[in-house]
Structure 1
Amino acid sequence: MEAYMEKVIIVEGTTDKRKVQQIIKEPIQILCTNGTISLSKLDELIEELYGKDVYIMVDADPAGEKLRKLFIQEFPEAEHLYIDKSYKQVASSPVQHLASILLGANIDVHAEFI
C-alpha cells in the first residue's frame, strides 16, 4: 500500500473521474463505482479504504443519492462532497465549482481553477 495515497475520492463514472483529476494537484486515488455498486463489492472497497481519508462525490440525481445513502450507511467515516443540485452531474459541473468544493475539503487544487 503506497503511503502517499492517503486520500481517496469516490465518483460514479469515468467522465467524473477525468473531470476531478484535472482539478486536483495532490496525489489522490480516484475510484469509480460505475453507477451502482453491490454490497459485496462495497464491503471489499471499505476494507481497501480502511484508514484512508475517503471523499464521496456523486451526482445530484436519484442514482447518485441512492449511492450516497449506501455509503452513509455502510461507510459513515467517509466525508461527503455535494455539488450544487442545479448542475445535476459531477461531469457537467463547472471546474471552478468543483475546485471550490474540493478546496473546502482541504484537497489541493490547481490555482487556475480557483
Structure 2
Amino acid sequence: MEREIERVIIVEGKSDKKKLESVLNEEIEIICTNGTISTSRLDELIEELFDKEVYILVDADDSGEKIRRQFLRELPEAIHLYIDKTYREVAAAPEQHVATVLLSANLDVHANFL
C-alpha cells in the first residue's frame, strides 16, 4: 500500500493561515513563521519537513521575500506559490484569488471560490 505524502503550507501569519483554512477543502498542516524565522527555527523546520511536500505562500513584500529566499536556500525542493503583487498580503487577497493560487498547485479548494 502506497503511503500518502504529507503536505504542508508555510505562511507568515495567523491571518494568512485563517485565509487558507477558509479556502482549502482538505486537511493540510499550515505553519506560521510569524513574519520572520530564525536560523535555529528554520533548522528545526527543515528536519520536521524532510519527507513532506512543502508549499511556501508568503506576502509579496520585503519580509515575505526574505523568508522565501531562506527557504529557497535551505529547502530547495519546496514549491513556491505567489499571490498577485497588487494584493501584497496573503490575508488581503480575495478568497477567489487565493483559491486559484492553491488550485494551481493541485490543492483542493472549496468549489464556491472558483
> TM (normalized to structure 1)?
0.95
1:17-52 deviations in Å (ceiling 9; x for gaps)? 000011001110000000100111101001001111
Mapped pair 1:79 → 2:79: yes
Instruction: State the alpha-carbon separation in 2 of the partners of residues 63 and 87 from structure 1.
Output: 15
Instruction: Report the secondary structure of 1:8's partner residue.
Output: strand
**Tell me, which stretches of 5 or more residues in structure 2 are unaligned?**
none
Could you list the structure 1 runs, at least 4 aligned residues long, displaced by more than 3 angstroms after superposition: none
Aligned residues with identical type, % of pairs: 61
> TM (normalized to structure 2)?
0.95
Instruction: State the alpha-carbon separation in 1 of the partners of residues 50 and 102 from structure 2.
Output: 21
The answer on whether the counterparts of 1:55 and 1:78 sit within 8 Å (CA) in structure 2 is: yes
Instruction: Report the secondary structure of 1:112's partner residue.
Output: helix
Instruction: State the alpha-carbon separation in 2 of the partners of residues 56 and 32 from structure 1.
Output: 10
**Tell me, which stretches of 5 or more residues in structure 1 are unaligned?**
none
Query: 2:61 matched to which residue of 1?
Result: 61
Aligned length: 112
Relative to its length, the structure with more helix (as a share) is 1
1:15 is aligned with what amino acid?
A: S
